[in-house]
Structure 1
Amino acid sequence: MSFDVDLFVIGGGSGGVRAARIAAAEGGAKVALAEESRMGGTCVIRGCVPKKLMVNASVLGAAVADAKAYGWQVQAGGFDWGHFRKALEAELDRLENAYRNTLTGAGVTIHDARAVVKDAHAVRLADGTRITARHILIATGGRPFVPDIPGADLAVTSNAMFHLDALPKRALVVGGGYIASEFACILNGLGVEVTQYYRGPQILRGFDAEAREHVAAAMQAQGIAIHCNADVARLEKVAGGIRAHATDGTAGDFDLVLYATGRVPNSAGLGLEALGVRIGARGQVEVDGYSQTSVPSIYAVGDVTDRVNLTPVAIREGHAFADTVFLGRPTRADHELVASAVFTQPELGTVGLTEEEARAAGPVEIYAATFRPMKSLFAGRQDRMLMKLVVAADSRRVLGCHIVGEGAGELIQLAAVAIRMGATKEDFDRTVAVHPTVAEELVTMRKPVR
């Protein structure tokens, strides 16, 4: 049977673009890709990249204060949101064009349209065009979840945060995950009065408990009002803005309510279930180790599969798919020991097991240090940094590393290499420290704290 293309990719995010490029450029496949929104997907257009640029902007006010403490004659003016937003949108345009050029340079045909799956070897574009394909790859990512409460339409999600007409004076952030906590810190750093509601006992569920406590305490010290075991019962429009009625009977008025209560796989309406593709309870497309669905010609990668929902993982999955199907190199994407960073203020970098996970698996030793870094100490700030290693008592292997403080995201990448290679605590100990740095604490902790 002949097909119009060898591969049709639905979704122009990081995973889909990588798969399309490798299949076309290295595998010699005829490839088409459909994206109904902007090329680059969530990470590039409405996620990691613009968020990190907002993080960069939000820390500069404190940097000016530090510069004064170091002797510089500087004075911060007001933050110009309009200037920043214009520059941000120009950068996103540049990145989108770069993604397009990468695809077209590899020979991929781009369709700026929604596509749905019609059968095991065919898709239909929004204009009715039918395209047959030997293989179909679903790479549609995820979408923000907003619970069904009265007044939910008054709230915004992270998708809208980069295009606000103006910064609010008072903001309520609902949620306790990394997206909610990052935006709480961003807004606070830009001069917004921030309140954060989270229905659980502590923000950043799933991360190391000691690290979570450290981040939350620092956020509160910076003026963010964190209310745990709290949720919104309903929202209503009032003269003073948006009134949020909490489940504990209290209420507060805000100019902006941001819901960051998690994301769900973006699989609805693609026609998959009708074809027999298994869909999980959260809407995730279920796949095997090679990203193949229950319909052999249909694959899926990235957040739509709800495995490890990180951009670099989606890229690895997309590359592994192309290697397997088009280059004759069966490859499984490895989801073990994936490092990650939370760009709160302070940052949290983590890889491997939390202390709680490790203790459940066997005896461990915990090496931890908290200290005031030289840079902020000299500037008179009370910041404290946390370095933590989780070590197996028997094998001495370092099972997890958790860092809270400035540069944690950069530091954890290098720690992840050592831990991935099976480094022991004694390997860390034998490594000579780089002085004076905060990173030297990772190799100078000699006695376990517990």
Structure 2
Amino acid sequence: MKVTVLGAGIIGVSTAWHLLQRGHEVTLVDRQPDAALETSFANAAQISVSYCEPWANREAPLKALKWMFSPTSPLLFRPQLDPAQWRWGLQFLAQCNDAAFERNVAQLVALGTYSHAALKDVVRETGIEYQRLERGIAHYYVDQKSFEGAAAAAELMARFGVKRRVVSREELLRIEPALSSFADRIVGGTFTESDESGDARVFTQRLAALCAARGARLLFNHDIEHLDATGGALNAVRVRSRATGVLSALKADATVVACGSYTTPLLAGIGVRVPIYPGKGYSATLPLLRPDQAPVVSMIDDSLKIAMSRLGNELRVAGTIELGGFDLSLDTPLARQRGEMLVRRIEQVFPGVADTRLPAEGGNPRFWTGLRPATPTNIPLIGRLPVKGLWINAGHGTLGWTHGAGSGKALAELISGERPAMAFGFHGMEAARAARGAPAQASFSPGS
């Protein structure tokens, strides 16, 4: 069947790849000149199944209230005159309890495990190179109270088949000796050997090129103007070429919306509401000065909720969540503070290892920001929409790279009439069962 995929980030490209694998005719559309130039461009680089936890937990409301008054806090809520923001916030608060947290973790880990296996399959089939490091992810703590909670986190992950083990400071230093200069601040950590890291942008762009080689039609530099739907069915997608200005209609048997945070306004145009809101994240990519002293194990700093990953001769640090609408600015005072906080932390943890000079000091850190498409549960929406022929693959929050390959495979399976082999509540199919914590048993007809 003919399938149009809207959005060429890690989610859209993975979906396109798996559709091609099943014999479909695929058109991939994006407004940028290449794949992965928006949210997938410079993320934390982690494949972190062990960190598949939702933002919403019983401690989140109090922390969010406290953090509102700190410009460099891990989670910053910037109130807007936007009903969608407040509606999302209320839905988020409804998830801030232990029962919802555990229910959401179960689905996030199920998708993470499925996705990691799917990623390995793609790499084995294609030989794609993307600065992959299979060295695990270490999570370090700098205060005793937080470290005491690590055992509960590890136990929860173990119940879902993920081996995230608690380690002492001494063992953490054996796992990653590059932490030695920061050792006196660390009280302990956790380590998951099966996790890994790599450049999501490079992977996505190379997979998109392979999609083209297998016959996919890539419509880059095309804006998605609107969806044309009548009578409960999608007629066409109207796209406009940025090069020529020509407006054209794309007709297909199935259309996948994988536009990240922009999924929400696109679907609103045909009266479909989805609970996806942008969470602005920041990263800085720094050249290494002493590669031999730089970490090879990817890291999570618990106190600041930031991630650090080695990418060849560079070090990527990323994190923070800012709920303030579709703001991608990097040059405001707030944005500069949040970006500079990331760089300062690298210098504290790995002094002298990377060039952490700011632009005013003669340095050249590559700052970046992207909009994480977040749902209140952090569970992405994968499945069918209430418009015939229209499907969704969006809302992956901070876990787009972790969940990307599996989300693409699962939706391609659904469209093809197959049943993904995981317990997950697919949107428009098993959401009610999933809300009760029941395994997903998708029942559907292909392409509908």
TM over 0.5: no
User: Based on CA coordinates, which of the two structures has the bigger radius of gyration?
Assistant: 1
TM-score (norm 1): 0.36
TM-score (norm 2): 0.36
By relative contact order (CA 8 Å, sep 6+), the higher-ranking structure is 2
